[in-house]
């Protein structure tokens, strides 16, 4: 029998087996029914907003936004059975039953990393929220890593979505426009010869105090006071301590535990600019605030 005939026969057998295997694939769908569908705001502070939806027997869908300079949003598909292989899940938006004949939308592909939850970046996460608001069901399709015969579909049910989403949106609008990273190391500046902060540094300190009212994970705060070289050395050292102690008092009155705040005064030592100019002396009049978290 000619070689090309054997090749055609082998290809036909392969296609037949592949078609048979595809036909035998079953779809396991996980979705909250109408009674189970809930969208809950599980975190709502000036530091973090979190909207969650439970998918029975599968896991949770979590939208999260944090305080920061830029608007941010992250989506995480938390799975009870984490991936055992590296693969992709197709993210589709399926129309509601009252819009028959309308095709689904292919929104994105989500990487499934071994032993990690699936995540989607800001733009796609906002698209999911928009689709849900319009009554669509974002759905995650992937081949089951535990069974070669099954595909899995995890569905977000838009029922009861609106109240939770509107509360989440309000929370996001009230997030602080700065994060821990933005304020963890701060240099506060002073008026000449006094313990009075400059206007800009006073605003900065008020921002820090507001942040600390909501973050209970702060482990320690270190305050190091400095002066310029004008005045006696001993007087300058006392002034640097007084500046740092005044900041400590402000923070403790804002709710920070006193034993978390350490104060040091170095006077005119360790200057960072020349004391021969007004600008240099202004830079040297400072308290350096450093915060640490576990």
pLDDT at 270: 85
What letters, b where the CB count within 10 A reaches 16 and e where it falls short, cover 9-25? Answer: eeeeeeeeeeeeeeeee
Q: Say if residue 216's pLDDT is above 70.
A: yes
> Residue 24 — very low, low, confident or very high, per pLDDT cuts 50/70/90?
low
**Position 178 pLDDT exceeds 80:** yes
pLDDT at 236 over 80: yes
Q: Which CATH architecture has domain 26-173?
A: Sandwich (2.60)
Query: Distance between CA 104 and CA 130 in Å, rounded?
Result: 14
Give the per-residue pLDDT at 84. Answer: 92
Per-residue confidence (pLDDT) for residue 283, from 0 to 100? 93
- Residue 11: pLDDT above 50? no
Q: What's the CATH architecture for 180-292?
A: 2-Layer Sandwich (3.30)
Q: Where are the domains of the chain?
A: 26-173, 180-292
Q: Please state, rounded to an integer, the average pLDDT across all residues of the chain.
A: 90
pLDDT at residue 25, rounded to an integer? 73
Residue 13 confidence class, pLDDT cut points 50, 70, 90: very low
CA atoms of 173 and 52, how far apart (whole Å) = 18
């Amino acid at each position: 029998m000619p070689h090309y005939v054997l090749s055609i026969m082998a290809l036909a057998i392969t296609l037949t087996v592949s078609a048979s295997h595809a036909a035998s694939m079953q779809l396991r769908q996980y979705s909250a029914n109408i009674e189970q569908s809930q969208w809950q705001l599980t975190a709502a502070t000036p530091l973090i907003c979190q909207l969650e939806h439970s998918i029975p027997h599968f896991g949770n869908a979590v939208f999260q936004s944090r305080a920061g300079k830029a608007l941010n949003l992250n989506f995480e598909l938390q799975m009870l059975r984490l991936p055992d292989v590296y693969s992709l899940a197709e993210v589709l938006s399926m129309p509601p039953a009252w819009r028959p004949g309308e095709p689904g939308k292919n929104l994105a592909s989500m990487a499934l990393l071994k032993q990690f939850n699936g995540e989607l970046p800001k733009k796609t996460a906002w698209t999911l929220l928009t689709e849900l608001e319009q009554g669509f069901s974002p759905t995650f399709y992937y081949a089951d890593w535990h069974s070669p015969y099954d595909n899995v579909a995890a569905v977000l049910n838009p029922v009861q979505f609106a109240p939770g989403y509107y509360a989440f949106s309000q929370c996001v609008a009230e997030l602080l426009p700065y994060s821990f990273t933005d304020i963890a190391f701060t240099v506060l500046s002073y008026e000449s010869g006094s313990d009075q902060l400059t206007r800009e540094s006073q605003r900065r300190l008020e921002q820090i105090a507001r942040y600390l009212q909501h973050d209970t994970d702060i482990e320690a705060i270190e305050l190091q006071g400095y002066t310029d070289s004008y005045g006696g050395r001993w007087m300058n050292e006392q002034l640097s301590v007084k500046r740092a102690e005044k900041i400590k008092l402000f923070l403790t009155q804002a709710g920070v535990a006193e034993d978390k705040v350490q104060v040091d005064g170095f006077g005119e030592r360790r200057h960072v600019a020349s004391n021969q100019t007004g600008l240099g002396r202004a830079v040297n009049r400072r308290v350096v605030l450093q915060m640490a978290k576990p």
